[in-house]
Amino acid sequence: MKGLSDAAVASLRASIDRPEAGDRYVVGELIGHGGMGAVYRAFDSVLRRDVALKVLASEADSPAVAERLEHEARILARLEHPGIVAVHDAGMLDDGRPFYVMRLVTGERLDDYVASAGRGELFRVFLRICDAVGYAHAREVIHRDLTPANVMIGEFGEVLVLDWGVARIGGDGTGPARVGKASDGRTTGDGVILGTPGFMAPEQAMGATASADSRADVYGLGAILRFIATASGSALPRPLAAIVARATATDPNARYSTVDALADDVRHWLDGEAVAAYRESAFEKTVRLYRRNQALVLLILAYAVMRLVILLWRGV
């Protein structure tokens, strides 16, 4: 007897995995799949709108992973920010798998968006990412897997930070995710490596997951900044390279202490101001001030030349 083809096995698995979420949600096509969960387009028959339904993947069906999906839903529910996808509902399928329902996002991932976006637009996107992550830190939530693939640019220009599946809550949940304060050890402990190579902080790569604090997200943001700044293939200006270097320092104590400090330095650089991460020479400072005030400098020079011409003409 001939065995089933790979395509047939995949089709059979998809039909088995397809969730039945009760009378309210009409589940449509699969729109995303990861190690922990699968995301389907669905129609909310009560509110008459399209939504995204995330359910535990059958191959990842275990109590620990199920708890992580529920944990992600609770994390998203406490993060009410325009840059973070809102959760509308949560529940349990008839087969025992947990699910939650969120806003349906359409757009382009940042790792694809860089190919068509201008450099200035990419820096604007980066600052919006920082805004969302900074808000999460203020709510004591650390993302721990910030990558271009986990950022979506919506069809109306909105910037959304996605995939909070390995996020953790630091502290007691009533204040900011402070430096050196990371708890919630029930989700992951030291020795477990979570994150994406090239974007996760060195302490995460070494397995110090439970002790990684908000500065691990600063590292991830610095790696994203490097990614978008080098997308065109051009060399980084020295101040920007210094910002990236500080954000991605191996030692967490050498990094920016907060996301806001990193974002402020990027804004200063974009505005032609001095940045905290870079000590400029007197010549560089003069050039920077000239570029920032070029119109005023040229106007003063034009006035000085005109006065000189008038004085010379009167002396003739």
- The 3-state DSSP composition of the chain as helix, strand, coil percent (nearest 5) reads 45, 15, 40
**How many residues can be counted in the chain?**
316
User: Would you state the pLDDT for residue 236?
Assistant: 93
DSSP state, 36? S
For the chain, residues with pLDDT lower than 50 are 1, 8-12, 172-175, 180-191
Backbone angles phi, psi at 8, to 5 degrees: -70, -40
> How many whole angstroms separate alpha carbon 242 and alpha carbon 15?
51
User: Would you state the pLDDT for residue 247?
Assistant: 98
User: Would you state the pLDDT for residue 295?
Assistant: 60
User: Would you state the pLDDT for residue 186?
Assistant: 40
> How many whole angstroms separate alpha carbon 310 and alpha carbon 118?
46
- Output the six-digit token pair for 223: 């790696």
CA distances from 168 to 17, 66, 150, 163 (A): 28, 15, 16, 12
Report CA 168 to chain centroid distance, whole Å: 15
> How many whole angstroms separate alpha carbon 36 and alpha carbon 239?
39
pLDDT in tens, 93-102: 887 888 999 9
Do residues 50 and 43 touch, judged by C-beta distance below 8 A?
yes
Do residues 91 and 99 touch, judged by C-beta distance below 8 A?
yes
Active site residues: 145
User: Would you state the pLDDT for residue 309?
Assistant: 72
Report the number of secondary-structure helices (H) and strands (E) in the chain. Answer: 10, 10
Burial 121-140 (b: 16+ CB within 10 A, else e): ebbebbbbbbbbbbbbbbbb
